[in-house]
A and B are shown apart, each in its own frame.
Chain A
Amino acid sequence: MRYTDTKLLEHLAASYVLGTLQGGAQRRFERLRADRVDVQMLVTQWETRLGQLALSIPAQAPSSDLWPAIAARTQGPKGKLAPHTPPAWLGWLLPAGFGFGGLAVGVLAASAVFFVAPTLFVSSEQIAMRSGERLPPSYVGLLTDAAGNGKVLVSSLRHGKAMTVKIIGPITAPPLGRFVLWAHPSEGVPFAVGTVPAKGSAVSTLPDTSEKLFSKVSKLTITLETEATPTSPHGPVMFSGNCAKLW
């Protein structure tokens, strides 16, 4: 399955948070979430929405034994947690140990098939990406100053809505105004795609997928703007660079 349909991703994220996405679909979605920032954001949004519904659930007090049990497992240096005693309700699993032997054999067999014929499970493109042989299809831009020093790296997955702006060279925060990132289509007027942090990196949500926004963009610039919401670049160009398709 290709996870490029934004409606499908939205539906999967909602089902995942609700708890109705189960089995293989749940595991595939969790792998996808681990790989893609835009999917993580969708999940976060649904956790926020559905979390509102939990506020009507009446509070209840557990037994007084619970906190001592938690404290016993968490006190002391972090990372050196006390061993956990399996919960009593999992006791039924013990007699089923022999059954798990068969399960383990099944898992080993499935693993062997996966390594022998991985394309039965995922596409060759995904295998290449996971093995590090290929980067995921993305739009990237390296913006430099007038002297050609790399300053800002912009990246976004081709079919994602999240954009990362990373400062890779020292830049001086302006005393007045702020740095605004502009996309310049080969035909048409430039449009603002976000602001630039003074240091580190920032992830923001784009109004549409990168494919729709950047497919005809050839150049990126960062200007210093004093207006709160500039509609076109008026300030001086601080950094500029090309927008490239990485696939």
Chain B
Amino acid sequence: MDIRGDQALGCAKNDKYYQTPTFMPWRPEIHILARMKLDTLSLQELIGRAAQGDHPCFAQLYARTHTHLFGVAIRILGNGQAAEDVLQEAYVSIWKNASGYRSDVGGQSIQPMTWLIAIVRNKALDALRVRTRRKESELSQDDALAEESMGTNAGANPSALQLLDQATQALHIEVCMSALEGSYRQSLALAYYQGLSHTEVAAQMGAPLGSVKAWIRRGLDKLKSCLALQGVVA
């Protein structure tokens, strides 16, 4: 990403506190201070300012979140160009609907990243559903080359199950979740990290569709109870 000049240094120019200083090469400390002040803005504050039309703050929101959100999109879509298209749509949607972000819904705290991830996942899943309607033979050579160049082959990245295990470990629920059989966790991981449908999970695992549906449902129930023990949406 390349965000230079005013946008990299602070939010709206007319903002007294975060005013972007005139570029003075002989006074580098001014620019360092402006950047430090900008760093004190939380994601929630950046979204709030973006909702008021503050584009530099929106740029800062992008700077802080886009690599993680691109990771989410590319995990589902594989193809780098498709993931970039989805991310572009997602950020335009975020800009248009920033005022719709609520940090609290019915006493339930909503983290900004949760809101952003949901937007990107939904758009990535929609794009994936459109794409899976294409016959595999219709995939162009360009697409295949793009996937290769982005290094999205399974060998280069952790598997869906590995990602689930890493997440449960970081959330301190790995012991709780390990009560589930491997096939349950595998099916949940494929559905979440790769956006696969029930049918696609069943095909990939070579398991009956009914079993996969039951595994995923059981996996979701277990995830809910394990997270509740950690105070997440208890």
Contact = CB atoms under 8 A, between A and B. Distances in A.
Interface of A is mostly: helix
B7 to A, nearest CB: 8
B58 interface: yes
A91 to B, nearest CB: 9
A64 B193 contact: no
B110 A44 contact: yes
Nearest to A47: B118
A172 interface: no
A75 interface: yes
Contacts, number: 174
B111 A51 contact: yes
Interface stretch (A10-18, A114-122, A140-148): A10-18
**What interface size band does chain A fall in?**
35 or more
Contact of A205 (B85, B96, B106, B158): B106
Contacts of B113: 51
Interface string B42-74: 000000000001010011001000111011101
A62 B66 contact: yes
B87 interface: yes
A56 B160 CA distance: 10
A61 B82 contact: no
Given A45-B233, A75-B55, A18 B191 contact: yes
Interface of B: 1-3, 53, 55, 58-59, 62, 66-68, 70-72, 74-75, 79-85, 87-89, 91-92, 95-96, 105-108, 110-111, 113-115, 117-118, 121, 125, 129-131, 134, 138, 143, 150, 157-158, 163-164, 166-167, 170-171, 191-193, 195, 197-198, 216-217, 220, 223-224, 227, 232-233
